[in-house]
Amino acid sequence: MTLPTDPPTDPPADLPTDPIDWFRNTAPYINAHRGTTVVVGLRHGATEHDNFINVVHDLALMHSLGVQLVVVHEHEPLDAAVMTSDAFASSIAHALDQRTQIERLFSMGLPNSPLHNARLRVVSGNFITARPVGVIDGVDQLGRGLVRHIDVAGIRHALEGSAICLVTSLGHSPAGELFTLDAIEVMRVLSRGLGADKLIVMSDFDGIEDADGQLFRQLTVDAARNALVTSAQQQQQVLTLACDVCDSGVPRSHLISFQEDGGLLRELYTHDGIGTLISPDEYEQLRAAEGRDLAGILELIRPLQQQGVLAERSNEDIERLLDHFVVITKDSRVVACAALIVNSADNIAEIASVATHPDYRDSGHGERLVERLVNMAKESKVRRAYVRTTQTGHWFQGLGFIAGSEAELPESERQKAKAARNSKTLIRAL
Ligand SMILES: CC(C)(COP(=O)(O)OP(=O)(O)OC[C@H]1O[C@@H](n2cnc3c(N)ncnc32)[C@H](O)[C@@H]1OP(=O)(O)O)[C@@H](O)C(=O)NCCC(=O)NCCS
């Protein structure tokens, strides 16, 4: 097992090594996930794995970044066919032992570990009311139970008190009996009941693979249900869970491995994540920019401004113009943006700051954005749209813009030109 005092391993080669770059790249994700409720399901085997201490550190870090965490752990499953009092007692003992172990790890505050001075509060308790499974195929299921009720208010209260909620897959009946529950069912009911923003299930596999063994990075619920047919049996249970919770309103489910050091952080705070993401809708969204997108827009256009590809605009200018931007987001991260500045008085609109993140180019994002802006300009009843560009004149020509000159623009727009850029002006009649 890796001890908390072990030196950190090198970051994977594809992560930025410059801490400033890393911090800037991560900031939009931190903003997007702050204040969200995330249910993390630890499949059987997670707590015994050597990497578990790193999982605890990652959870602690997510918590300190403002994510409201509900952690469900799965203990040794009971064999439904051979149900004995001894098996039940050992299952309960295993569950409680796991809970104690997790609480202990969250309580460590060793120097040189991410938990140093973190002062984490972990709350576990009688959050689940259960009922007996009863007799199935002639076998009395004894202490196997089903979830009857979740104390959502109690969990919310703990989360609002800045605690991490730890849920053991055990439940109590109103008569005081103890039941061991199916952890997958607990994850399902909790995610739904809490109206969680995410469910992350950590299993002993990387995610969902296609028939050739290639990992699906992202799937819509419909595609995920199709993938059920080809996916390995061990993946089917969590894939069904992921689809079910998405169907019941949870926007995202992530399936990742508990064996990967930093897996949680890579899944939530990097571009492409590490496992399989399942979402009800198309993964990418084109929409009007909102306040939470500002950091992502700045991150996207700042390097292009520094290279002289886009006209210089201060952060304050961009913030002021935020309502004019449309963005394409991928799991809350801005991957492309563009702005439309309508000048109704002079019957013209400027298209500006069109940018697609280098990792997402050549997939039609730029064209979709410009088409959206052109349609918005038409709705504003202006007769022309124009753009100034130094390097993408041909690209705009492909989108119906025609090379023009500043002289064709009204005086109010000419004043906005930056002479030193020597940019070309292209105009499209609407
Ligand atoms: C221009 C830009 C927004 C295009 O984004 P995108 O999401 O890749 O756009 P699309 O996928 O719709 O278009 C890609 C196509 O345009 C072509 N293209 C990209 N840049 C081009 C350029 N400067 N000149 C001509 N064609 C170009 C690509 O080769 C690709 O062609 P293909 O479809 O034949 O393979 C992106 O390259 C970018 O961010 N550039 C830097 C910022 C910039 O110059 N903005 C414009 C000034 S406001």
Task: Give residue-wise pLDDT tens across range 277-304.
Answer: 999 876 678 899 999 899 899 999 999 9
Residue 294, both tokens: 């500002």
Binding site membership of 143 for ligand 1 (Cβ less than 6 Å): no
Q: Tell me the pTM.
A: 0.67
CA distance 351 to 369: 10
As a whole number, mean pLDDT of residues 188-207 equals 96
Tracing tokens 């994977």 back to the chain, one arrives at: 12
How confident is the model at residue 169, as a pLDDT? Answer: 95
Decide: 354 and 416 in contact? Cβ < 8 Å. Answer: no
Instruction: Fill in the amino acid letter for 425.
Output: T
Decide: 337 and 324 in contact? Cβ < 8 Å. Answer: no
Tens-digit pLDDT profile for residues 211-239: 888 888 889 898 899 888 878 888 899 99
Q: How far is CA 427 from CA 314, 393, 413, in A?
A: 25, 11, 13
Question: Measured in angstroms, how far is the CA atom of residue 114 from the centroid of ligand 1?
Answer: 42
How confident is the model at residue 2, as a pLDDT? Answer: 31
How confident is the model at residue 15, as a pLDDT? Answer: 53
Compare 166 and 85 and report the one with higher pLDDT: 166
Binding site membership of 363 for ligand 1 (Cβ less than 6 Å): yes
Question: Measured in angstroms, how far is the CA atom of residue 354 from the centroid of ligand 1?
Answer: 9
CA distance 117 to 277: 33
Model confidence at 332: pLDDT above 80: no
Provide the CA 18 distance to its chain's centre, in angstroms.
23
Decide: 356 and 304 in contact? Cβ < 8 Å. Answer: no
Going by alpha carbons, the residue nearest to atom 5 of ligand 1 is 366
How confident is the model at residue 273, as a pLDDT? Answer: 81
Sign of CA dihedral 25, 28, 31, 34: negative
Average pLDDT, the chain: 88
Binding site membership of 366 for ligand 1 (Cβ less than 6 Å): yes
Binding site membership of 307 for ligand 1 (Cβ less than 6 Å): no
Compare 18 and 194 and report the one with higher pLDDT: 194
How confident is the model at residue 87, as a pLDDT? Answer: 85
Instruction: Fill in the amino acid letter for 285.
Output: Q
Domains along the chain? 19-282 (3.40.1160.10), 286-429 (3.40.630.30)
Question: Measured in angstroms, how far is the CA atom of residue 38 from the centroid of ligand 1?
Answer: 37
How confident is the model at residue 140, as a pLDDT? Answer: 77
How confident is the model at residue 13, as a pLDDT? Answer: 45
How confident is the model at residue 232, as a pLDDT? Answer: 82
How confident is the model at residue 80, as a pLDDT? Answer: 66
How confident is the model at residue 283, as a pLDDT? Answer: 63
How confident is the model at residue 110, as a pLDDT? Answer: 62
Residue among 66, 68, 71, 70 nearest 29 (CA): 66
Pairing relationship of beta strands 128-132 and 145-150 according to DSSP bridges: antiparallel
| Percentage of the chain lying above the pLDDT 70 cut | 92
> Who contacts 380 (Cβ-Cβ below 8 Å, separation ≥6)?
342, 344, 349
